[in-house]
Amino acid sequence: MTEGYGAISRRDVLKTGAAGAAIAGSIGPGQAALAQPDPAAPPRAAVGLKVNGQAVRLDLDTRTTLLDALREHVKLTGTKKGCDHGQCGACTVIVNGRRINSCLTLAVMHEGDEVTTIEGLGTPESLHPMQAAFVEHDGYQCGYCTPGQICSAVAVLEEIRAGIPSHVTADVSKPAPMTTVEMRERMSGNICRCGAYSNIAEAMADVAGVKA
């Protein structure tokens, strides 16, 4: 059986572009290939958000993610872009009480939504208890994943209190217990390459009032 690409000829001319212009194009049935780029400006849409309690009205390219809307348009740069593909959690914000990856949602899909970013939790002068616990327990190093960790941590404690089960909940028919193992599992969508996990667990346990 030939395996197509097992061997490559010595001077194999490959024609491609960023998205593999020569090999991309139409994907499959039901998806029309896009015509030549329209010289007109790309489609825009208006959206109204409530960011940290403040009404914000934006007119955006429809392609703008909630993350880029916050960082590049509202100029709230506390929410970080680590991967832009939902693989790191640095962009975590709380929307209508739930934490989400702001990189994987379009801003225009959030009409009327209440968005809480790290800036909305507290300020350097008046820190949220979770922010203060991160400082006290050194739950960070470079600080880049930190806003996402903190937004997630705040939401995780709420999720446990609400009884939402997790992968480590022994009996899913019962409410999940407030333990550091539950916290660790639920925080696993927030990568910290500096490796502050052990300290973050202690900060969260402190805020939750349980033993680390």
Partner 1 sequence: MKFDKPAGTNPIDRMAVVGRPTPRIDGPLKVSGKAPYAYEQQDVPGKPAYGYILGSAVAKGTISAIDTTRAERAPGVLSVVTHRNAGKLGKGRMNTAHLLAGPKVEHYHQAVAVVVAETFEQARAAASLINVDYARESGAFDLAAARAGAKDATGSDAPTSVGDFAGAFASAGVQLDQTYTTPDQSHAMMEPHATIAAWEGDSLTIWTSNQMINWGVKELAATLQMPPEKVRLISPYIGGGFGGKLFLRTDAVMAALSARAVKRPVKVALQRPLIPNNTTHRPATIQRIRIGCGSDGRITAIGHESWSGDLEGGGPEAATQQTKLLYAGANRMTALRLAVLDLPEGNAMRAPGEAPGLMALEVAMDEMAEKLGMDPVAFRVVNDTQVDPEDPSRPFSQRNLVRCLEEGARRFGWNRRKAPGQGREGRWLVGMGVAAAFRNNINGKSGARVRLDRAGGVTVETDMTDIGTGTYTIIAQTAAEMLGVPLAKVTVKLGDSAFPVSAGSGGQWGANSSTSGVYAACVKLRDMVVGKLGFGPGDAQFEGGQVRVGNRVADIADAAKGGELVAEDTMEYGDLAKTFQQSTFGAHFVEAAVDRYTGETRIRRMLAVCAAGRILNPISARSQVIGAMTMGVGGALMEELAVDKRFGFFVNHDLAGYEVPVHMDIPHQDVVFLDEADDKVSPMKAKGVGELGLCGVGAAVANAVYNATGIRVREYPLTLDKYLDRLGEVA
Partner 2 sequence: MRPFTYEKATSAQDAAAKAAAMPGARFIAGGTNLLDLMKLEIETPSHLIDVNGLGLDRIEEIDGGGLRIGALVRNTDLAADQRVRKDYAVLTRALVAGASGQLRNKATTAGNLLQRTRCPYFYDTNMPCNKRKPGSGCAALGGFSRQLGVIGTSDACIATHPSDMAVAMRVLDASVETIRPDGTTRAIPIAEFHTLPGETPHIETALEKGEMIISVALPRPRGGTHIYRKVRDRASYAFALVSVAAVIQRDGKGAVALGGVAPKPWRVEEAEALLPQGPKAVADRLFAGARPREDNAFKLTLAQRTIASVMAEAKA
Shortest separation between residue 211's beta carbon and partner 1, angstroms: 11
Q: Of partner 2, partner 1, none, which one sits near residue 27, judging by CB under 5 to 8 A according to partner kind?
A: partner 2
Please tell me whether residue 158 adopts helix, strand or coil conformation.
helix
Shortest separation between residue 112's beta carbon and partner 1, angstroms: 23
Q: Binding residues for partner 2, per CB under 8 A?
A: 1, 3-6, 16, 18-20, 23-25, 27-34, 37-38, 42-43, 45, 61-63, 65, 84-86, 89, 92, 98-101, 103-106, 108-109, 152, 155-156, 159, 162-167, 169, 172-173, 185-186, 188-191
Residue 87 CA to residue 69 CA, distance in Å, equals: 19
Following DSSP, what letter does each residue of 42-66 receive, concatenated? PPEEEEEEEETTEEEEEEEETT-BH
Shortest separation between residue 200's beta carbon and partner 2, angstroms: 14
> In sequence order, which residues have a C-beta less than 8 Å from that of residue 183 and are 6 or more positions away?
153, 156, 157, 160, 201, 204, 205, 208
Shortest separation between residue 181's beta carbon and partner 1, angstroms: 8
